[in-house]
């Protein structure tokens, strides 16, 4: 069945492409543009009534609203998924995107909460994703005959070269890489007054921020396997000309896309299809090196771009100064999330212009998404879907779906989607959690998937079309869309919602246990390691007890389900009890209580806890 679908996909794409492009007719080029810390509400096509202001505040000010005409165009010519989920924070989400797997397989639970395992040399530490999941995005494209390129942010443990990419241009945040001779836009710890303080090397002053390298202006850039490089990994600028041109005006996102497009041209000249994985920093708040007096995290300004209805024009930045005192001479935008989004749109336009110039625009798929919610709003949040609701826009030649698509999707779906696009068959015994979007995009199939899932450490989030469970174990009615994309009504009484809501609730409850392995299988298989410190979560670890407590009836447990009772017997008992007390019998809540009594990790609940739980 899988093989026949791959053949069918290739035929669909070939027919859609027609006679455009080059010799790699049945191998579409692919660009995945993965933005950083951007909620769906920030992107204009999603139509939210609220977005993020420059001080991380909620705002409805039109002056602070991004303008993204090129992304709007992609969403119209292609489609945009109304409800797409990623992880709640950076590292786990990037592992999801690269692997097509959830955290129970990668063991990347949170940014500072990852399972241990051996790397390729047997050294123990954070388990690299390529060790848990040896078939990543880059590997899929490579094995299908593609030239593969990774640009931008990394934040993946282990060796960059083992992720399946031929070349790369990185603006790394790796603080252990302190030997860059070209820029002093970096921080370091210094002992001051007996305490470690973050010091800005540009000013020599203590600053109230986290340790970071500059990845926007005057950036830290590393190249991997570039033809001009003398070593597999080396700092850029790396040639007399690039050293001469490098300076305060150099903007990291520009460097990334220039190298990515250079790779595209070289592969095209070789008659080889290309896969670009562009993980931009744009969207991520950062230290503003040009305005250190702001002494905080914001979205530093970008080069100024303007749209004339058809094309973008970029103003060349001019920056002078030193040691924290800089003049941008009116050539840099105001800070803010909206400025970053505007520049993302400019970069998407650059890609589309390059594709047209190369003659492969009708043979290239573009996917735009983000890793998690916006800073100050959703980043690393388990509340409702603030942390995991991200933009997801796909353009592919010949696709049947266009514009808004009221379906559910996840970043784990990208890997199997790309596998279908490039004609790669994922081995039957290699378990992935994603589902290819190709059947939905290229046929009249009305739905993509029934539910989507995310995780934040031990906190599980799941939703269908009608109900959502967040990381705090609260349930919400998501059958209608609030103007701000988040003000869903909490479900307090399951008797007050439709039968379809209750049925979906039961289905989602049955799914959750299969991924609930944070406390049982935290590390790589066979590895016994307890982290010195874990982040705080709303869900606490289980407490083991030697004896089972009394069940609600006051009798000792007989060792069976819920103290020996079946669900039918327990339901009948609770129904009679509620009717006797004049209360409304709620079968959904009773079933949840029964399951809680049966599966809670502290043993069976007491009579008092049962009564308290049902009285809620």
Give the 3-state secondary structure of 550-562.
Answer: CCCCCCCCCCCCC
DSSP structure class, residue 164:
S
Q: The dihedral of CA 104, 105, 110, 115: what is its sign?
A: positive
437/557 same-domain check: no
578/444 same-domain check: no
CATH of the domain at 109: 3.40.720.10
- Residues 11-56 have pLDDT tens digits of 555 555 443 333 344 799 999 999 999 999 999 999 999 999 999 9
Residue 166 lies in a domain: yes
Supply the DSSP string of 122-144, one letter for each residue: S-EEE--HHHH-S--HHHHHHHT
382/270 same-domain check: yes
Residue 196 lies in a domain: no
Residue 504 lies in a domain: no
Q: How far is CA 250 from the centre of its chain?
A: 27
Beta strands in 282-388 (DSSP E): 286-287, 297-298, 305-307, 312-314, 320-322, 325-327, 364-370
Q: Which of 439, 455, 471 is the last residue of a domain?
A: 455
Residue 182 lies in a domain: no
- Does pTM surpass 0.75? yes
Task: Write down the pLDDT at residue 259.
Answer: 99
Alpha helices in 211-312 (DSSP H): 240-245, 252-269
Residue 589 lies in a domain: yes
DSSP structure class, residue 538:
S
Closest CA to 340 of 276, 294, 286, 278: 286
The DSSP H or E segment spanning 7 is helix 2-17
Task: Write down the pLDDT at residue 19.
Answer: 38
Residue 466 lies in a domain: no
Closest CA to 345 of 102, 601, 42: 42
- d(CA 305, CA 482) in angstroms, rounded, equals 33
Q: Which of 455, 489, 509 is the last residue of a domain?
A: 455
132/15 same-domain check: yes
CA distances from 583 to 371, 427, 492, 595 (A): 45, 54, 15, 21
- d(CA 297, CA 405) in angstroms, rounded, equals 35
- d(CA 391, CA 517) in angstroms, rounded, equals 28
Helix (H, G, I), strand (E, B) or coil at 597: helix
Q: Which of 385, 420, 455 is the last residue of a domain?
A: 455
The DSSP H or E segment spanning 113 is strand 113-114
Residue 509 lies in a domain: no
261/371 same-domain check: yes
268/385 same-domain check: yes
274/378 same-domain check: yes
Domain, as residue range, for 156: 2-172+248-284+338-455
> Could you tell me whether strands 113-114 and 116-118 are parallel, antiparallel, or unpaired per DSSP bridges?
unpaired
558/449 same-domain check: no
**Angle CA 408–409–410, to nearest 5:** 140
443/575 same-domain check: no
446/571 same-domain check: no
Supply the DSSP string of 494-530, one letter for each residue: GGGS-HHHHHHHHHHHHHGGGG--TTTS-SSTT----
* Residues in the chain where the model's pLDDT stays below 50: 1-5, 7, 17-25, 546-564, 598-616
Helix (H, G, I), strand (E, B) or coil at 354: helix
Please check whether residue 459 is in contact with residue 453, taking contact to mean a CB–CB distance below 8 angstroms.
Answer: no
User: What's the number of domains the chain is made of?
Assistant: 2
Q: The dihedral of CA 147, 152, 155, 160: what is its sign?
A: positive
Task: Write down the pLDDT at residue 144.
Answer: 98
Residue 592 lies in a domain: yes
447/554 same-domain check: no
Task: Write down the pLDDT at residue 597.
Answer: 54
- Residues 471-505 have pLDDT tens digits of 999 999 999 999 999 999 999 999 999 999 999 99
429/554 same-domain check: no
């Amino acid at each position: 069945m899988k093989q026949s679908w791959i053949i069918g996909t290739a035929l669909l794409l070939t027919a859609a492409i027609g006679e455009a492009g080059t010799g790699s007719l049945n191998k579409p080029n692919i660009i995945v543009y993965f933005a950083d810390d951007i909620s769906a509400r920030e992107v204009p096509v999603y139509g939210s009534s609220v977005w993020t202001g420059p001080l991380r505040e909620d705002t409805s000010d039109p002056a602070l609203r991004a303008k993204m005409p090129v992304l709007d165009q992609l969403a119209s010519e292609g489609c945009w998924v109304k409800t797409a989920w990623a992880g709640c924070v950076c590292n786990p989400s990037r592992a999801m995107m690269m692997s097509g797997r959830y955290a129970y397989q990668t063991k990347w639970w949170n940014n500072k909460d990852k399972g241990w395992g051996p790397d390729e040399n047997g050294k123990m530490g954070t388990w690299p994703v390529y060790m848990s999941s040896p078939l990543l995005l880059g590997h899929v494209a490579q094995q299908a005959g593609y030239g593969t390129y990774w640009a931008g942010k990394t934040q993946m443990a282990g060796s960059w070269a083992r992720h399946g990419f031929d070349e790369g241009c990185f603006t790394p945040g790796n603080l252990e890489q302190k030997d860059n001779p070209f820029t002093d836009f970096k921080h370091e710890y210094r002992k001051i007054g007996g305490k470690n303080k973050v010091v800005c090397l540009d000013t020599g002053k203590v600053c109230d921020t986290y340790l970071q390298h500059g990845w926007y202006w005057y950036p830290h850039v590393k190249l991997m396997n570039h033809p001009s490089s003398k070593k597999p990994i080396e700092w850029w600028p790396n040639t007399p000309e690039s050293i001469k041109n490098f300076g305060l005006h150099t903007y990291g996102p520009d460097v990334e896309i220039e190298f990515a497009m250079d790779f595209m041209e070289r592969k095209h000249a070789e008659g080889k299809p290309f896969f670009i994985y562009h993980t931009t920093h744009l969207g991520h708040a950062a230290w503003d090196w040009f305005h250190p007096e702001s002494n905080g995290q914001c979205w530093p300004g970008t080069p100024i771009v303007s749209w004339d209805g058809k094309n973008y024009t970029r103003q060349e930045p001019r920056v002078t100064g030193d040691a924290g005192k800089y003049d941008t001479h009116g050539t840099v935008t105001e800070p803010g999330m909206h400025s970053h989004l505007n520049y993302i749109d400019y970069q998407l336009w650059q890609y589309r212009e390059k594709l047209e110039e190369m003659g492969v625009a009708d043979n290239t798929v573009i996917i735009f998404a983000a890793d998690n919610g916006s800073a100050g709003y959703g980043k690393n949040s388990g509340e409702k879907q603030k942390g995991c609701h991200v933009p997801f826009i796909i353009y592919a030649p010949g696709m049947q779906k266009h514009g808004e698509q009221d379906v559910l999707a996840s970043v784990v779906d990208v890997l199997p989607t790309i596998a279908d696009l490039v004609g790669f068959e994922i081995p039957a015994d290699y378990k992935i959690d994603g589902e290819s979007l190709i059947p939905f995009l290229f046929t009249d199939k009305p739905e993509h998937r029934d539910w989507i899932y995310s995780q934040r450490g031990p906190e599980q989030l799941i939703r269908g079309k009608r109900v959502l469970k967040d990381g705090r174990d609260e349930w919400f009615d998501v059958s209608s869309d609030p103007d701000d994309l988040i003000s869903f009504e909490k479900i307090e009484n399951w008797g007050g919602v439709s039968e379809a809501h209750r049925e979906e609730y039961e289905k989602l409850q049955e799914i959750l246990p299969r991924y609930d392995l944070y406390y049982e299988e935290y590390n790589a298989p066979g590895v016994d390691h307890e982290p010195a410190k874990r982040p705080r979560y709303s869900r606490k670890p289980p407490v083991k007890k030697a004896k089972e407590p009394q069940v609600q009836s006051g009798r000792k447990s007989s060792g069976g389900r819920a103290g020996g009772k079946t669900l039918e017997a327990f339901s009948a008992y609770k129904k009679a009890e509620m009717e006797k007390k004049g209360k409304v019998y709620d079968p959904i809540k009773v079933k949840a209580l029964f399951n809680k009594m049966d599966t809670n990790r502290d043993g069976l609940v007491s009579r008092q806890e049962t009564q308290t739980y049902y009285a809620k």
